[in-house]
Structure 1
Amino acid sequence: MSTALRPSACPGLLRIVQALDGGICRIKLNGGSISADQAEVVAHAAERFASGVIEATNRANLQIRGIDEHGTALIDSLLAAGLGPRTAAGDDVRNLMLSPAAGIDPQMRLDTRTLAGQILDTLQSHPRFHELSAKFAVQLDGGEALAMLEHPHDLWLSVYEERGETLLAFGLAGCPTDRPLAAVALADGHALVVAVLELFLDLARPEQTRMRHLLDECPAPVFLEKLGQRINLKAVADWPREAGPEGLHLGIHPQQSAGQVYVGAAPALGRLAPDMLRGAAQLARTFGDGTLRFTPWQSLLLPNVRETAAVQVLDELGKLNLLTHAENPVAHLIACTGSNGCGKGLADTKHDARLLATLLPRAVDVHLSGCPRSCAAAHHAPATLLAVSPGHYDLYIRDAAVPGFGALHAHNLTIEVAATLLAARSRSPLDA
């Protein structure tokens, strides 16, 4: 496969991007899913051709960090395992996020995997779509309880029911918790994606790489009117979409099929050692269906586990040093690479997050970011610590009226002082 790619700061499987700790290779997983055999190839490649650091990303993909001069051999091994795109130009645009529980979630209204396969095939095979930015992303939500609904996407689609009919609502430059622009029949789902992307490319200037850029100039009602000339649109009368209970990505949870469960666990702060990945892969073979699913919470699921084996699987995942219970404070923290591996990071966020976890008396959702780019969290966390210098952070509290991280709550805090403030807020009934 030719690896002549357009310039981009985004790593891909075929484009290794350099960081302070070496090269980064991003492996995009179809619907977050990877076979046990493929997972073992990733673990081996990380050991042999890189530093051994594997990251679960917030869009349900994997990254290998610290790649040395053997980058070509690493890429070849991943391609041989079937982890690459159909064509080199198709790698950048394989940005389709599903629920990690697609096809197995008891609350789902549609198994989205067939439609997702059609969309991914088109993104890779339609030459015009290769013009899309490597950051341009689509989300397909089947109504599952386990769904990340706070990550903004250029196009989002969500299955719902209205007056006895199952439809596909959609919106632009936002999330499924937003009010949809319109809906289409399920049979028109694939055609809708094609129509939206083609219309975007027809209207956007080269510098307008994301849907939000275009909507600044071409408001959503205007875009919708033009879209209606290409596909049959329906109005959305009621919009009830809400996320399921928190913590569904960790622990044992029932599937749609009786007697089967999925078991979820997370590597601390998103970092997997090769032995962790190998161990999880072996558990998937022994107790599941031989696959793993990665999630936007930087965790993994073993689907289709017999209910009678679930406790044993959860215990074995814990022995691999994976987090298995939502009560663990580390499971509520997000941290970017930080100054240890990124030239833009102003603090060692991974180290500081681990320290913060030991200082908090109870679990608190906190995002530690080494710089304003917020690479580790696509959504706005309830609390964000933004690095200003080594070991020092500004504290922001999410506020719907304030864009970005939210309202600045305190400036230039040490981790110890930040822990005291966060613990006090978590005790306040006003912040519950």
Structure 2
Amino acid sequence: MSELEPTPAFRPSACPGLWRIVQALDGGISRVKLNGGEISAAQADAVADAAERFAVGVIELTNRSNLQIRGIGSEREGLIACLLAAGLGPTQMAGDDVRNVMLSPAAGLDRAMLFDTRPLARQILESLQSSPRFQQLSPKFAVQLDGGEALTMLQHPHDLWLSALSLDGQAWLAFGLAGCPGQDAALGAVPLAQGHALVLAVLNAFLDLATPEQARMRQLLATMGVEAFVARLPLTLRRDAAVRQWRRVAGDLVQPLGVYPQLQPDRAAVCAVAPLGRLSARQLRGAAQLAREFGDSSLRMTPWQGVLIPNVAVEQASAALAGLSTLGLLCDVSDPLARLVACTGSTGCAKALADTKGDALRLAPLLSRPDRVGAVHLSGCKRSCAMAHAAPATLLAVGPGHYDLYLHDPAQPGLGVLSGRDLTIEEAGVYLDTRLWSNIDD
């Protein structure tokens, strides 16, 4: 879609979209959903231009590999037109909300992958955005497609996850519901060729069975049970011990920073993280120029709120990484700020009880250990918007500059075990740096 069309009528939701610009304290928010997290350099330039022309120039990277423009003023139609002209909208207006398919940022490039997930992802995305029935799904309803990559996020819960496994020398897809491959057992598996049919079957069964109040898979399963749902799927599923006892093994990579070797022997990806999940228009435009100069003129956003430039010649990878660092992106695992995640905070969100981003900047220099990355989450309220899974350590705001500290425990629900009350940032920094790092494992 290249021309601005009348704003479509959307179901009620607090989630931003390309057309649904949600008002916040610092202005409007528009979410730009990317197919598999990928964006061309020209499209990145368009996002940067839109953020400067129609907003305050702040671009956020989400934990599901999308982009958000913050601080949008009154010229909202102009911003929408700019994004549509760049090809950043759905094939149908009503399909914008449901384009929620997360891939590895190294899809098609990763040495550990069992298959390239992108062709199947394109099939799923096309079905989601073109089917009027699937457009009834909640804007939060999400699918993950994991091809076995080492560079992948395995802890984010999804309504449906699919993960590659090898059975009898052939590629299959294990699947689970209302969870994630990094933690949950598979419910069954189908041959790779039936992956699209499996997704359609799950989505149709959900829409057949869920009440209007049951917007997410976990809500439906809480009333009818997993086995009853699986029994409704009109597919022959493999559910023997080889599938039910299979577990997705995660690699040692906690967060991608630096140079990442690709399957293609003469190519590498370079990875950096946006400080506290935000880019300026200048930074995004600069990353796009580096993608043109060193890569294939594309960028991939990561669920770690980062930027990946794929297909860089190995001998030029260091120069590309240096370019990202010069732009102000974080490229070194020893940078304390690289292990902090913070929500918008009270400067932009009415629900937040503290300036989480400002407090994160104060906390970073208090953490001296270089061997933990992405381990501390500062959340302005209990909604925990900045992270889709529990961090090893969470600071939950209870007032300006004051936080309760939670330590993640797999045996405990939610954020984990309450380990400190009403801490100042300085007290939290001392606690984390001197007492806890040896016990925190992401």
Q: TM-score, normalised by structure 1?
A: 0.98
Is 2:81 aligned against 1:81? Answer: no
Distance 1:391 1:301 in 2: 33
2:411 to 385, 401, 404: 401
Match for residue 205 of structure 1? 211
Q: CA deviation at 1:2?
A: 3.4
> Kindly, what percent of the aligned residue pairs are identical?
61
Q: Is 1:231 matched with 2:235?
A: yes
**In the superposition, relative to structure 1, how do residues 279 and 412 fare at CA in structure 2: closer, same or farther (>3 Å)?**
same
AA aligned opposite 2:412:
V
Whichever residue aligns with residue 415 of structure 2, its letter is F
Cα offset for 1:237?
Answer: 4.6
Q: Which runs of 5+ in 2 are unaligned?
A: none
Match in the other structure for 2:24: 19
Q: Distance in 2 between matches of 1:249 and 1:397?
A: 23
Q: Could you tell me which residue of structure 2 aligns to residue 56 of structure 1?
A: 61
Structure 2 counterpart of 1:334: 341
Tell me the equivalent position of 2:252.
245
Post-superposition Cα deviations, 1:104-154, rounded to whole Å, max 9, x if no partner, equal: 000000100000000000001111001101100000000000110000000
SS at match of 2:377: strand
Is 2:321 the counterpart of 1:311?
A: no
Measured in 2, the distance between the counterparts of 1:261 and 1:343 equals 42
The separation in 1 between residues aligned to 2:34 and 2:7, in whole angstroms, is 19
Contact 1:32 1:60 survives alignment (8 Å) = yes
Q: Please name the residue that 2:100 is paired with.
A: 95
Unaligned runs of 5+ in 1: none
Matched letter for residue 217 of structure 2: M
Q: Structure 1 residue 103: deviation in Å?
A: 0.3
Q: C-alpha distance in 1, partners of 2:131/2:437?
A: 53
- Which residue of structure 1 lines up, in the alignment, with residue 228 of structure 2? 222
- Contact kept? 1:60, 1:97, Cα under 8 Å: yes
Q: Paired residue for 1:324?
A: 331
Kindly state the Cα deviation for residue 240 of structure 1 after the two structures are TM-superposed. 3.2
Question: What's the counterpart of residue 200 of structure 2?
Answer: 194
Q: What code does the residue aligned with 2:140 have?
A: K
Residue 136 (structure 2) pairs with residue 131 (structure 1): yes
Cα distance in structure 1, aligned partners of 2:439 and 2:256: 26
TM-score by length of 2: 0.95
**Aligned-partner SS, 1:297:** coil
Q: Across the two proteins, how many residue pairs are aligned to each other?
A: 430
Q: 2:288 aligns with which of 274, 281, 304?
A: 281
**What is the deviation of 1:15?**
0.7
| Counterpart position of 2:351 | 344
Structure 1 ranges of 4+ moved more than 4 A: 429-432
Residues 383/248 of structure 1: CA separation in 2 closer, same or farther (3 Å cut):
closer
Superposition pairs of residues 94-173 of structure 1, within 5 angstroms: 94-173=99-178
Secondary structure class of the residue paired with 2:165: strand
Distance 1:294 1:93 in 2: 18
- Aligned twin of 1:37: 42
- Contact 2:98–2:128 at 8 Å: present in 1 too? yes
**2:76 matched to which residue of 1?**
71
Match of residue 10, structure 1, among 15, 26, 30: 15
Deviation at 1:424, TM superposition (A): 2.4
Is contact 1:162–1:238 with CA below 8 Å preserved after alignment? no
Report how far residue 7 of structure 1 moved.
2.0
Matched letter for residue 369 of structure 1: S
Give the superposition deviation at 1:390.
0.1
